[in-house]
Amino acid sequence: MENHKITSKRDEEDFIITASFLKICQKLRSLKNTKGRIILVIGAPGTGKSSNIYKSVDKLNLNVYEPVLLMDNIEKSPREVFNEILSTLKDELDVKTEDEIYSVFSKFDAVLVADKFLDSEFLDPHKVGLALWTEYKGIKTIPLFFRWMFEYLRHKRDLKNVNLVFQTAWPIRIRGFKYDLITDFGPLSVLISGILKLLFEVVEVAYLESETIKIVKNHFEDVDDDLVRKYIKKYGNRPRYILNDLEHEHVEQS
Protein backbone atom coordinates (compact mmCIF):
# COMPACT_ATOMS: atom_id res chain seq x y z
CA MET A 1 0.00 0.00 0.00
CA GLU A 2 1.33 3.43 -0.95
CA ASN A 3 1.82 5.95 1.83
CA HIS A 4 0.83 9.37 0.47
CA LYS A 5 3.56 11.31 2.25
CA ILE A 6 6.46 13.13 0.62
CA THR A 7 9.84 12.32 2.13
CA SER A 8 12.20 13.86 -0.38
CA LYS A 9 12.42 17.02 -2.47
CA ARG A 10 11.05 16.10 -5.88
CA ASP A 11 9.00 17.59 -8.67
CA GLU A 12 5.63 15.88 -8.80
CA GLU A 13 4.04 16.34 -12.19
CA ASP A 14 0.55 15.81 -10.77
CA PHE A 15 0.84 18.39 -7.99
CA ILE A 16 -2.35 20.46 -7.57
CA ILE A 17 -1.92 24.22 -7.20
CA THR A 18 -3.89 25.55 -4.23
CA ALA A 19 -4.23 28.88 -2.42
CA SER A 20 -1.96 27.55 0.35
CA PHE A 21 0.77 26.64 -2.14
CA LEU A 22 0.65 30.11 -3.68
CA LYS A 23 0.93 31.68 -0.20
CA ILE A 24 4.03 29.60 0.53
CA CYS A 25 5.57 30.60 -2.80
CA GLN A 26 4.88 34.24 -2.04
CA LYS A 27 6.51 33.89 1.36
CA LEU A 28 9.62 32.07 0.07
CA ARG A 29 10.09 34.04 -3.14
CA SER A 30 12.38 36.71 -1.65
CA LEU A 31 14.68 34.34 0.24
CA LYS A 32 17.34 34.66 -2.48
CA ASN A 33 17.65 38.38 -1.75
CA THR A 34 17.01 38.64 2.01
CA LYS A 35 18.48 37.15 5.17
CA GLY A 36 17.49 36.86 8.80
CA ARG A 37 14.04 35.38 8.22
CA ILE A 38 12.42 32.51 10.11
CA ILE A 39 9.36 31.05 8.36
CA LEU A 40 7.10 28.45 9.95
CA VAL A 41 4.83 26.36 7.71
CA ILE A 42 2.00 25.01 9.87
CA GLY A 43 -1.00 22.83 9.07
CA ALA A 44 -3.03 19.93 10.42
CA PRO A 45 -1.59 16.41 9.97
CA GLY A 46 -2.43 15.03 6.55
CA THR A 47 -2.60 18.36 4.71
CA GLY A 48 0.71 17.87 2.91
CA LYS A 49 2.94 20.55 4.45
CA SER A 50 6.09 18.90 3.14
CA SER A 51 4.83 18.42 -0.43
CA ASN A 52 3.84 22.09 -0.58
CA ILE A 53 7.22 23.18 0.78
CA TYR A 54 9.27 20.97 -1.56
CA LYS A 55 7.25 21.97 -4.59
CA SER A 56 7.68 25.66 -3.68
CA VAL A 57 11.43 25.24 -3.26
CA ASP A 58 11.64 23.55 -6.67
CA LYS A 59 9.47 26.13 -8.39
CA LEU A 60 11.53 29.03 -6.99
CA ASN A 61 14.86 27.23 -7.60
CA LEU A 62 16.05 27.88 -4.05
CA ASN A 63 19.41 26.59 -2.89
CA VAL A 64 18.53 24.98 0.44
CA TYR A 65 20.35 22.87 2.96
CA GLU A 66 18.10 20.17 4.44
CA PRO A 67 19.54 18.43 7.50
CA VAL A 68 18.81 14.78 8.22
CA LEU A 69 18.18 13.50 11.75
CA LEU A 70 18.36 9.72 12.20
CA MET A 71 17.97 8.92 15.90
CA ASP A 72 18.31 5.29 16.93
CA ASN A 73 16.45 5.55 20.26
CA ILE A 74 13.00 7.02 20.87
CA GLU A 75 13.66 7.09 24.64
CA LYS A 76 16.28 9.84 24.40
CA SER A 77 15.93 12.79 26.80
CA PRO A 78 15.50 16.36 25.48
CA ARG A 79 19.14 17.08 26.38
CA GLU A 80 20.32 14.01 24.46
CA VAL A 81 18.21 14.94 21.43
CA PHE A 82 19.57 18.50 21.41
CA ASN A 83 23.15 17.22 21.65
CA GLU A 84 22.52 14.72 18.84
CA ILE A 85 21.14 17.48 16.62
CA LEU A 86 24.27 19.57 17.17
CA SER A 87 26.53 16.56 16.62
CA THR A 88 24.68 15.62 13.41
CA LEU A 89 24.95 19.15 12.01
CA LYS A 90 28.68 19.33 12.79
CA ASP A 91 29.27 15.98 11.09
CA GLU A 92 27.17 16.82 8.01
CA LEU A 93 28.73 20.25 7.57
CA ASP A 94 32.25 19.12 8.55
CA VAL A 95 32.68 21.84 11.18
CA LYS A 96 33.65 21.86 14.85
CA THR A 97 31.80 24.77 16.46
CA GLU A 98 28.28 26.23 16.55
CA ASP A 99 29.58 29.47 15.06
CA GLU A 100 30.85 27.53 12.05
CA ILE A 101 27.42 25.89 11.66
CA TYR A 102 25.78 29.31 11.24
CA SER A 103 28.55 30.43 8.90
CA VAL A 104 27.83 27.49 6.56
CA PHE A 105 24.07 28.04 6.91
CA SER A 106 24.50 31.60 5.63
CA LYS A 107 25.79 30.32 2.27
CA PHE A 108 22.38 28.87 1.39
CA ASP A 109 19.18 30.63 0.42
CA ALA A 110 17.60 28.83 3.36
CA VAL A 111 17.98 25.97 5.80
CA LEU A 112 14.94 23.73 5.44
CA VAL A 113 13.83 21.64 8.39
CA ALA A 114 11.28 19.21 6.98
CA ASP A 115 10.65 15.49 6.41
CA LYS A 116 14.27 14.33 6.47
CA PHE A 117 14.63 15.82 9.94
CA LEU A 118 11.12 15.36 11.34
CA ASP A 119 9.94 12.11 9.71
CA SER A 120 13.19 10.31 8.93
CA GLU A 121 11.68 6.93 9.91
CA PHE A 122 10.16 7.01 6.40
CA LEU A 123 13.72 7.06 5.03
CA ASP A 124 14.99 4.35 7.40
CA PRO A 125 12.41 2.31 9.38
CA HIS A 126 15.05 1.51 11.99
CA LYS A 127 15.52 5.20 12.86
CA VAL A 128 13.41 7.89 14.54
CA GLY A 129 12.69 11.44 13.42
CA LEU A 130 11.97 14.40 15.67
CA ALA A 131 8.20 14.38 15.05
CA LEU A 132 7.80 10.74 16.12
CA TRP A 133 9.97 11.38 19.18
CA THR A 134 7.83 14.43 20.05
CA GLU A 135 4.61 12.45 19.62
CA TYR A 136 5.96 9.64 21.82
CA LYS A 137 7.33 11.87 24.58
CA GLY A 138 4.40 14.30 24.73
CA ILE A 139 4.81 17.13 27.24
CA LYS A 140 8.24 15.77 28.20
CA THR A 141 9.53 17.41 25.02
CA ILE A 142 8.89 20.93 26.35
CA PRO A 143 12.47 21.37 27.71
CA LEU A 144 13.81 20.89 24.16
CA PHE A 145 11.68 23.75 22.82
CA PHE A 146 12.81 26.02 25.66
CA ARG A 147 16.41 25.08 24.84
CA TRP A 148 15.81 26.03 21.20
CA MET A 149 14.39 29.38 22.26
CA PHE A 150 17.49 29.96 24.39
CA GLU A 151 19.72 29.09 21.43
CA TYR A 152 17.69 31.42 19.22
CA LEU A 153 18.29 34.32 21.61
CA ARG A 154 21.95 33.40 22.08
CA HIS A 155 22.63 33.29 18.33
CA LYS A 156 20.31 36.08 17.24
CA ARG A 157 23.22 37.99 15.69
CA ASP A 158 24.32 34.92 13.68
CA LEU A 159 20.75 34.35 12.52
CA LYS A 160 20.68 37.77 10.84
CA ASN A 161 22.66 36.12 8.03
CA VAL A 162 20.55 32.94 7.86
CA ASN A 163 17.09 32.05 6.56
CA LEU A 164 15.28 29.19 8.30
CA VAL A 165 12.17 27.43 7.00
CA PHE A 166 10.51 25.01 9.40
CA GLN A 167 7.80 22.48 8.66
CA THR A 168 6.15 23.03 12.03
CA ALA A 169 3.92 20.78 14.13
CA TRP A 170 3.46 19.66 17.72
CA PRO A 171 2.01 16.18 17.18
CA ILE A 172 0.01 14.32 19.81
CA ARG A 173 -2.03 11.13 19.46
CA ILE A 174 -5.44 10.68 21.08
CA ARG A 175 -7.34 7.37 20.76
CA GLY A 176 -5.15 6.37 17.84
CA PHE A 177 -5.73 9.58 15.85
CA LYS A 178 -2.96 12.08 15.22
CA TYR A 179 -3.55 15.75 16.06
CA ASP A 180 -1.44 18.88 16.04
CA LEU A 181 -1.48 21.13 19.08
CA ILE A 182 -0.82 24.17 16.87
CA THR A 183 -3.86 23.70 14.61
CA ASP A 184 -6.39 21.21 15.99
CA PHE A 185 -7.45 22.43 19.47
CA GLY A 186 -9.65 25.45 18.94
CA PRO A 187 -8.90 28.42 21.22
CA LEU A 188 -5.69 26.82 22.55
CA SER A 189 -4.34 26.41 19.02
CA VAL A 190 -5.37 29.97 18.16
CA LEU A 191 -3.36 31.16 21.17
CA ILE A 192 -0.30 29.09 20.28
CA SER A 193 -0.35 30.05 16.59
CA GLY A 194 -0.92 33.69 17.60
CA ILE A 195 2.21 33.64 19.75
CA LEU A 196 4.19 32.08 16.90
CA LYS A 197 2.96 34.79 14.51
CA LEU A 198 4.23 37.47 16.90
CA LEU A 199 7.72 35.95 16.86
CA PHE A 200 8.08 34.55 13.34
CA GLU A 201 6.60 34.56 9.84
CA VAL A 202 3.85 31.92 9.68
CA VAL A 203 1.96 30.46 6.72
CA GLU A 204 -0.68 27.74 7.11
CA VAL A 205 -1.52 24.89 4.76
CA ALA A 206 -5.31 24.51 4.77
CA TYR A 207 -7.76 23.64 2.03
CA LEU A 208 -11.27 24.41 0.91
CA GLU A 209 -13.50 21.38 0.37
CA SER A 210 -13.28 21.94 -3.39
CA GLU A 211 -9.46 21.86 -3.23
CA THR A 212 -9.46 18.64 -1.21
CA ILE A 213 -11.77 16.97 -3.74
CA LYS A 214 -9.52 18.10 -6.60
CA ILE A 215 -6.39 16.74 -4.85
CA VAL A 216 -8.03 13.38 -4.14
CA LYS A 217 -9.46 13.02 -7.66
CA ASN A 218 -6.04 13.76 -9.08
CA HIS A 219 -4.99 10.38 -7.62
CA PHE A 220 -8.32 8.56 -7.96
CA GLU A 221 -9.99 10.23 -10.93
CA ASP A 222 -13.04 7.92 -10.91
CA VAL A 223 -13.92 8.43 -7.24
CA ASP A 224 -17.31 10.01 -6.61
CA ASP A 225 -17.36 13.53 -5.13
CA ASP A 226 -19.91 12.45 -2.52
CA LEU A 227 -17.59 9.68 -1.32
CA VAL A 228 -14.79 12.21 -0.92
CA ARG A 229 -17.16 14.47 1.04
CA LYS A 230 -17.94 11.52 3.31
CA TYR A 231 -14.24 11.16 4.06
CA ILE A 232 -13.95 14.92 4.58
CA LYS A 233 -16.64 14.65 7.27
CA LYS A 234 -14.53 11.92 8.89
CA TYR A 235 -11.08 13.50 8.60
CA GLY A 236 -11.60 17.14 7.66
CA ASN A 237 -9.72 18.59 4.68
CA ARG A 238 -6.72 16.26 5.11
CA PRO A 239 -6.05 14.73 1.68
CA ARG A 240 -3.33 12.29 2.78
CA TYR A 241 -5.65 10.52 5.23
CA ILE A 242 -8.38 10.28 2.59
CA LEU A 243 -5.93 8.97 -0.02
CA ASN A 244 -4.60 6.33 2.37
CA ASP A 245 -8.14 5.09 3.10
CA LEU A 246 -9.02 4.99 -0.60
CA GLU A 247 -5.80 3.13 -1.37
CA HIS A 248 -6.58 0.62 1.39
CA GLU A 249 -10.11 0.21 0.00
CA HIS A 250 -8.69 -0.33 -3.49
CA VAL A 251 -6.24 -3.00 -2.25
CA GLU A 252 -9.01 -4.86 -0.41
CA GLN A 253 -11.14 -4.93 -3.56
CA SER A 254 -8.27 -6.20 -5.74
The pLDDT value given to residue 253: 65
Tens digit of each residue's pLDDT (9 = 90 or more) over 193-251? 999 999 999 999 999 999 999 999 999 999 999 999 999 999 999 999 999 999 987 66
pTM: 0.90
How many C-beta atoms lie closer than 10 Å to residue 32's C-beta? 13
Q: Name the strand (E) or helix (H) holding 175.
A: none
* Eight-class DSSP state of 47: S
Report how far residue 104's alpha carbon sits from residue 98's, in angstroms, rounded to the nearest whole number. 10
The pLDDT value given to residue 240: 93
3-state secondary structure of 40: strand
Report how far residue 55's alpha carbon sits from residue 69's, in angstroms, rounded to the nearest whole number. 21
For the chain, residues with pLDDT lower than 50 are 1-4, 6-11
The pLDDT value given to residue 84: 97
> C-alpha distances in angstroms, 85 versus 78, 89, 118, 149, 192?
11, 6, 12, 15, 25
Q: What percent of the chain has pLDDT over 90?
A: 85
The pLDDT value given to residue 251: 60
